């Protein structure tokens, strides 16, 4: 322990990583969830847009989205609805520039940016004594890195991280090189490049004079934009310092890492069995199927099994902490 034997068993037509990933991206949450937006002003002059679903409960789940995601994505609304049904208030926060309005500063967000998450947690802890963290993909890497790099806020009781590229260099190489990943690569680069072009207009002195056009890989984007904008010497330096993999042995609250074996984005190093075996707080569950942020099944309609699994995991440990 804590290597967890998974019970996820989708029907035959969903036993394919690309099907799970693509259909999962198209699925919209059927559950009704209403968010109230708050703008959190930051000390550096920027802001974060926070979306709250509250019913005057005494515990809060903070949900972090993936690369180029936002709080309105179907997978965010789905987990928010599942958590709300299980008596959680929910705060789904948008990374800088992801809430529907460009952020104020030249910098974006990135896979290793934990200070913004820490600020969101401190903000939530003013009203809640019990906090759980849920992160998807890039947001999962941010969540795991936060939990391992320094002691987490005392209100944080448990966490779930889903479809997480904990080894950024290896996953960037897979996303850039695998033929089957080209559709995902084009989708990510389209919005990333659009944001970089808009930033270059607003901040011409701080962006590559050659502009973002012609970039055709995550590696090139991170080398030319992500790394220099956020104080890294290169893409390799950014990946090395931002990957959550190196911090997993220090995670000190009960945390579930749920990564599907057929996830087209993940490298073998994203299934850290040795870390889970050595750290009694890190629970690693690796279903054979599920794709990237998919985990779809067809019980009571097409739904994400991972929503119920996350709620179940959090409930088991938070109830112990509150007892």
Considering the chain, what is the average pLDDT of its residues? 94
For residue 62, which of 157, 203, 176 has the smallest C-alpha distance?
A: 157
Which of 143-147, 153-157, 168-172, 203-207 has the weakest average pLDDT?
203-207
Question: What's the rounded mean pLDDT across residues 112-133?
Answer: 97
Question: What's the rounded mean pLDDT across residues 116-124?
Answer: 98
State residue 212's pLDDT score: 67
State residue 28's pLDDT score: 75
Question: What's the rounded mean pLDDT across residues 97-116?
Answer: 96
1 has a pLDDT exceeding 70 = no
210 has a pLDDT exceeding 90 = no
State residue 29's pLDDT score: 66
- HEC sequence for 50-77: EEEECCCCCEEEEEECCCCCCCCCHHHH
Question: What's the rounded mean pLDDT across residues 93-101?
Answer: 96
For the segment 284-322, what is each residue's pLDDT rounded down to a tens digit?
A: 999 999 999 999 999 878 899 999 999 999 999 887 666
3 has a pLDDT exceeding 90 = no
State residue 209's pLDDT score: 56
Is 28 or 145 the better-scoring residue by pLDDT?
Answer: 145
Decide the pairing of beta strands 296-297 and 303-304: antiparallel
Question: What's the rounded mean pLDDT across residues 234-239?
Answer: 98
Question: What's the rounded mean pLDDT across residues 125-136?
Answer: 97
Instruction: Say yes or no: domain 3-166+247-322 is CATH 3.40.50.1820.
Output: yes
135 has a pLDDT exceeding 70 = yes
The dihedrals phi and psi of 66, each to the nearest 5 degrees, come to -95, -175
Question: What are the tokens at 76?
Answer: 């965010």
Contact (Cβ atoms closer than 8 angstroms) between residue 225 and residue 213: no
138 has a pLDDT exceeding 70 = yes
Locus of tokens 């600020």: 119
- The residue ranges of every structural domain in the chain are 3-166+247-322, 168-242
> pLDDT-derived band of residue 45, with 50, 70 and 90 as boundaries?
very high
Question: What's the rounded mean pLDDT across residues 194-204?
Answer: 90
Which residues are marked as active site?
137, 263, 292
State residue 32's pLDDT score: 77
Decide the pairing of beta strands 282-285 and 255-258: parallel
Contact (Cβ atoms closer than 8 angstroms) between residue 144 and residue 161: yes
Which of 69-73, 93-97, 98-102, 318-322 has the weakest average pLDDT?
318-322
For residue 166, which of 282, 84, 51 has the smallest C-alpha distance?
A: 282
Question: What's the rounded mean pLDDT across residues 149-161?
Answer: 96
């Amino acid at each position: 322990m804590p290597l967890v034997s998974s019970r996820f068993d989708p029907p035959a037509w969903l036993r394919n990583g690309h099907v799970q990933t693509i259909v999962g991206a198209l699925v919209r949450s059927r559950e009704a969830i209403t968010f109230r937006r708050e703008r959190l002003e930051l000390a550096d002059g920027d802001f974060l847009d926070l979306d709250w679903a509250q019913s005057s409960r005494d515990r809060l789940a903070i949900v972090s989205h993936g690369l180029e995601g936002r709080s309105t994505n179907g997978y965010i609304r789905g987990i928010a609805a599942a958590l709300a049904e299980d008596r959680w208030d929910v705060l789904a926060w948008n990374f800088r520039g992801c809430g529907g309005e460009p952020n104020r500063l030249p910098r974006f967000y990135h896979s290793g940016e934990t200070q913004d998450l820490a600020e969101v947690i401190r903000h939530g802890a003013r009203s809640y004594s019990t906090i759980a963290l849920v992160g998807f993909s890039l947001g999962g890497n941010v969540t795991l890195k936060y939990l391992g790099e320094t002691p987490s806020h005392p209100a944080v009781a448990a966490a779930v991280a889903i479809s997480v590229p904990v080894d950024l260099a290896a996953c960037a190489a897979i996303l850039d090189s695998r033929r089957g990943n080209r559709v995902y690569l084009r989708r990510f680069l389209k919005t990333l490049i659009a944001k970089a072009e808009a930033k270059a207009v607003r901040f011409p002195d701080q962006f590559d004079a050659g502009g973002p056009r012609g970039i055709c890989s995550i590696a090139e984007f991170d080398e030319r934009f992500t790394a220099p904008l956020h104080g890294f010497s290169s893409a390799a330096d950014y990946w090395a310092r931002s990957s959550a993999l190196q911090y997993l042995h220090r995670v000190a609250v009960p945390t579930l890492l749920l990564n599907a074996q057929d996830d087209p984005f993940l490298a073998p190093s994203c299934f850290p069995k040795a870390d889970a075996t050595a750290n009694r707080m890190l629970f690693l569950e690796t279903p054979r199927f599920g794709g990237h942020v998919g985990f779809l099944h067809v019980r009571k309609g097409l739904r994400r099994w991972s929503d119920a699994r996350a709620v179940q995991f959090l409930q088991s440990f938070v109830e112990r902490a509150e007892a």
